[in-house]
Amino acid sequence: MKICLFGGSFDPIHEGHLHIAQGAKDSCAIDRVLFLPCAQSPLKTSEPHASDEERCEMIRLAIDDFDWAELDTTDLELPAPSWSWRVAESVKRKHPEDELFWLIGTDQWTDLEKWGRWEYLADLVTFIVYHRGDHPVPREGVNALFVEGNHDASSTQIRHCLNQGDNVPFLAESVERFIQQKGLYRSAHGAV
């Protein structure tokens, strides 16, 4: 089976995330996409605005209609700091016979050398690089597939709209309802 790891803050998960995952699945004949909410990345200075539990629930709601999608909390369960190679290693132990892929964007592909033990990670997975026509440069000795696509959704913009009480685009109704019920992304929660 081909399993694709798709890590992110998912703060909140939106239609763009689902669009990207579906594109990778269809283009690369992926059987299962694991949505991995990230703990605190060593390369980021800010923490997610929603709690781990809230982000997990939003993912569950967003992927409910997709039989190929699954929430995986591996990154949240591992000790800090959050390293992608440890996540891939852990998933590989759970799925030793399966082929692993890692879905990233062009910006992450460009900064891959900043990732901890990135060469070891590259031995564990084939990267799927989702790009917007900017044609990422292949790396010698690193297995990668390049998928072109685009979606206008942005978690930052969505959080801003929620904080301002504006109309919110790109959210599943169930996710938006959950956010409203919890009062997420309002100023008191450190929106934007």
Whether residue 171 is contained in a domain is answered as: no
Whether residue 107 is contained in a domain is answered as: yes
Whether residue 20 is contained in a domain is answered as: yes
**Residue 39 CB partners (closer than 8 Å, separation 6+):** 52, 75, 76, 78, 80, 81, 82
pLDDT per residue as tens digits for the range 45-65: 677 899 999 999 999 999 999
Whether residue 90 is contained in a domain is answered as: yes
Q: How many domains does the chain have?
A: 1
Query: Which H or E element spans position 163?
Result: helix 155-164
For position 132, what pLDDT does the model report?
Answer: 86
- The enclosing domain of 66 has a CATH number of 3.40.50.620
DSSP secondary structure code for residue 186 in this structure? S
Whether residue 181 is contained in a domain is answered as: no
pLDDT per residue as tens digits for the range 84-94: 999 999 999 99
Whether residue 185 is contained in a domain is answered as: no
* Residue 21 near residue 3, CB atoms below 8 Å: no
Residues in the chain: 192
Instruction: Enter the pTM of the model.
Output: 0.92
Whether residue 189 is contained in a domain is answered as: no
From CA 170, how far away is CA 15, in angstroms rounded?
Answer: 5
pLDDT per residue as tens digits for the range 119-156: 999 999 999 999 988 889 999 999 999 999 888 899 99
For position 189, what pLDDT does the model report?
Answer: 47
Which structural domain range is residue 114 located in? 2-153
Query: Which of 41-50, 162-171, 181-190 has the largest mean confidence?
Result: 162-171
* DSSP notation for 80-143: SS--HHHHHHHHHHHSTTSEEEEEEEHHHHHTGGGSTTHHHHHHH-EEEEEESSS-PPP-TT--
* Residue 125 near residue 5, CB atoms below 8 Å: yes
More confident site: 69 or 186: 69
Query: Mean pLDDT score of the chain, rounded to an integer?
Result: 92
Whether residue 93 is contained in a domain is answered as: yes
